[in-house]
Amino acid sequence: MQNIEQRSDKHESTFNNIIKFKSLLENQVYKKIAYILLLLFSVFLPNIVNNMYYMGIINYMILYAILCMGLNLILGYTGLLSLGHAAFYGLGGYTTAILITRYDFGFLPCLILSGIIALLFGILLGLPTRKVRGDYFCLLTIAFGEIFRLVAQAWIDFTNGAMGIVGIPIPQIFGWSIRTETDFYYLGLILLTFTFITLSLLVNSKFGRAFIAIREDELAASVMGINTAVYKIIVFGIGCFYAGLAGSYLAVYQTTITPSNFRLEESCLMIIMVIVGGMGSLLAPIAGVVVMTIATEYFRDIAEYRMLIIGVIMVTVLLFRPQGIFGTSAFKS
Amino acid sequence: MFFDVLLIGIMVGAIYTLVTIGYSMVYSILKLMNFAHGDVYIFGTFICYTLLEKYNIHPLLAILVAATLGGILASIVEIVAYRRLRSEQHRMISMITALGAAYVIQNSNELQWGNQVLSFPPILNAQTLHIFGLAVPVTQILILIIAVGLIVLFTLFLKYHPYGKAILCVSEDIPTASLMGIPINKTITMVYFIGGMLGVVGGILYSTSYSAVSLAMGFRGTIIAFTAAVIGGIGSLGGALVGGMFLGICENFIGVYVSSSYRDPITFLLLIIILLVKPTGIMGAVEQSKV
């Protein structure tokens, strides 16, 4: 009995410390200063990192950060498990690639259209959430992802099949032609900042509180008068919008795009990044992105063991810290 | 032509059913999507391949050894990666460790056997029978008999054997079953063991009928099992049978009559349509949520 009390005391004190730490972080002034410092650091980062190889890795981190922040909105804020996120990423990528190479569109309209097309398909796939629940919805997203990839592979006239679309030209925005790794870094940074600002505005709005309520307790939320079905569909669509943007970025950054960029493994990787980082907090997935990208790069020399090591990382992180590295709270059932 | 396609469809369906049973049982007990299922079955198939090619062991013995090893691997995955998390608040957590376990097994398989397609030795009689003017390969018939036999055997096991009844009890309600004195951990490990074994046998039969085995078949197997289980209605043996058969037959008809490169997309489209029309699957009962 005493033992139990002692343990609960210990828990309480750690809990209090966490609360104190959190309230310090939640202080608006500190938060703003931290964000401004972070942004300044990001702007001057290319001056510190002169190595193009490292810049390339950082660019991929930014790309995945955008994807994972969008996915986190779906996963961490509504509790829908989507294993088809790569399809929306791919929709964005193919939209940009096809419009730029065949119809001479500028990059900016392509970027916006990519986002919008991903959004529309997201809403379309989100519609079944009204009827199909939980794991079945997860299967739907897997099916959609596979359909997208297989059609992209088989529809040779339109997508050029497994060869993919090559030779995507250098993008230009208002006369700024984006060529070097550093240019792409700044483009990515602009997109990432856009993602973060829009998402934090969304999460802190009335709308955001509604879908947090849905995550905490769907039934209670619906009793409170929240139209849970509509909210879920919209949130799913918005998460996909960012995937479309990331896909567009990928198309111009890689200058080629193939169906194998958007395999199921890619969706799994995004989910892993979000979960390792921690769900349900806006910036936590970035920690997952950084950890997983560095792990992938670090183990490049022993590439044949890569998935094994990543698998072991996943299992151990979740066995001992189910809420992720920086996650605030684990999921409720 | 029509009957040939139908026959092959039924055979593939029976194999899919074998692979699906283990998956569906695990799902109905733990509500866990076992992503490692396909990789376990491909592991067993590779083991069987090695035993046959390198050591020239009698096919029956090879199948038995491979199935047992597959079952053991599935149990190990359960004990290491899932057991600790069973009481975890959200199922998503154990789903991710399942994915991690799948990666580990897949990568280990790749290290051992590589990722190219290997030709699987024929282990069954390769003659062709002529019945009513139809050319029927004996292999197909034997595979069908083995698959259906195992399905029937497993059904009888569940219905009449005490251990089988224990599995059904646990899938109904874990806390109540443990109050009745059923050892939960052992029963769940047993489900994984049997599921792994059946999956391996399904994998070996599949590899024999296409005389090929490759790493990529593993993840596809997981998706096939999940799809078939959901189409039929998850958790029931009848559902696994209906789902597996439906998938096998549809796949073959689409592959032959429509287009082979659009075979998988159309199958998945069918799945989406079925889920929209009947979200619980063809044979599934409506799940009631407790408030």
Question: For strand A176-177 and strand A172-173, is the pairing parallel, antiparallel, or unpaired?
Answer: antiparallel
Indicate yes or no: CB of A306 within 8 angstroms of CB of B100.
no
A3 pLDDT above the threshold of 60: no
Which residue type does A265 have? Answer: E
Using an 8 Å CB-CB cutoff, list chain A residues near B85.
Answer: 318-319, 322
Residue A7 pLDDT level (bands cut at 50, 70, 90) = low
Query: pLDDT, tens digit, for every residue of A102-153?
Result: 887 888 888 888 999 999 999 988 887 777 767 778 888 888 888 888 888 8
For residue A170, the 8-state DSSP code is P
**Residue B291, domain member (yes or no):** no
The per-residue pLDDT for range A289-301, each reduced to its tens digit, is 888 888 777 777 7
Half-sphere exposure of A198 (CA within 13 A, CB side): 15
Q: Does any domain span residue B283?
A: no
pLDDT digits (tens, 9 = 90+) for B165-218: 888 888 877 888 888 888 888 888 888 898 888 888 888 888 888 788 888 788
Q: Which residues between 269 and 288 in chain B have a beta carbon less than 8 angstroms from any beta carbon of chain A?
A: 269, 271-272, 275-276, 279
Q: Helices B216-232 & A134-154, crossing angle to 10 degrees? A: 130
Phi then psi dihedrals of residue B116, to 5 deg: -90, 165
Determine the Cα–Cα distance for residues B112 and A126; give it in Å rounded to an integer. 41
> Helix, strand, or coil here: A54?
helix
Cα angle A179-A185-A189, degrees, rounded to a multiple of 5: 135
Instruction: Provide the whole-model pTM.
Output: 0.80
Is residue B31 packed enough to be buried (19+ CB in 10 Å), middle (13-18) or exposed (0-12)? middle
Q: Which residues contact B161 (CB under 8 A, 6 or more apart)?
A: none
* B96/A contact by beta carbon, under 8 A: yes
- Alpha carbons within 13 A on the beta-carbon side of B271: 33
Q: Tell me the residue ranges of DSSP E strands in B142-266.
A: none
Q: Closest-CA residue in chain B for A308?
A: B104
Distance CA B41, CA B22 (A): 11
Q: How far is B91 from chain A (nearest CA, A)?
A: 7
Which residue out of A68, A308, A310, A312 would a mutagenesis test of the B interface target, given it has the greatest number of B Cβ atoms within 10 Å? Answer: A308
Contact residues on chain A for B268, CB-CB shorter than 8 A: 143-144, 146-147, 150
Contact A140, A146 (CB under 8 A): no
What 3-state class would DSSP assign to B136? Answer: strand
Is B41 inside any structural domain? yes
Contact B268 A154 (CB under 8 A): no
Please give the backbone phi and psi of residue A173, each rounded to the nearest 5 degrees, phi first: -120, 120
d(CA A290, CA A277): 9
Number of cross-chain residue pairs from A and B with Cβ atoms under 8 Å apart: 134
Distance set, CA B17 to CA A136, A323, B23, B221 (Å): 19, 36, 10, 11
Q: How confident is residue A333, by pLDDT bands cut at 50, 70 and 90?
A: very low
Is-contact A178 A187, C-beta < 8 A? yes
Structural domain boundaries enclosing B62? 2-277
Are A315 and B101 in contact (CB < 8 Å)? yes
Mode of pairing for the β-strands spanning B128-131 and A176-177:
unpaired
Question: Is residue A232 predicted with pLDDT exceeding 50?
Answer: yes
Q: How many domains does chain B have?
A: 1
Amino acid at B5: V
| pLDDT beyond 70 at A1 | no
- Which band of pLDDT confidence, cut at 50, 70 and 90, is reported for residue B132? low
Residue B31 lies in a domain: yes
B286, part of any domain? no
A86 or A284, which is more confident? A86
User: How far is residue A83's CA from residue B195's CA, in Å, rounded to a whole number?
Assistant: 24
Predicted-complex ipTM score: 0.76
pLDDT averaged over every residue in chain A: 80
The CATH number of residue B58's host domain is: 1.10.3470
Query: Do residue B104 and residue A306 have CB atoms under 8 angstroms apart?
Result: no
The pLDDT, as a whole number, for residue A330 is 45
Segment B55-76, tens digit of pLDDT: 878 888 888 899 999 999 989 9
The CA distance from A29 to A57, in Å, is 32
Tell me the average pLDDT across A307-312: 78
Indicate whether B287 belongs to any domain. Answer: no
Query: What pLDDT score was predicted for residue A332?
Result: 44
* Distance separating alpha carbons of residues B230 and B20, to the nearest angstrom: 10
- pLDDT at position B72 is 92
Is residue B188 assigned to a domain?
Answer: yes
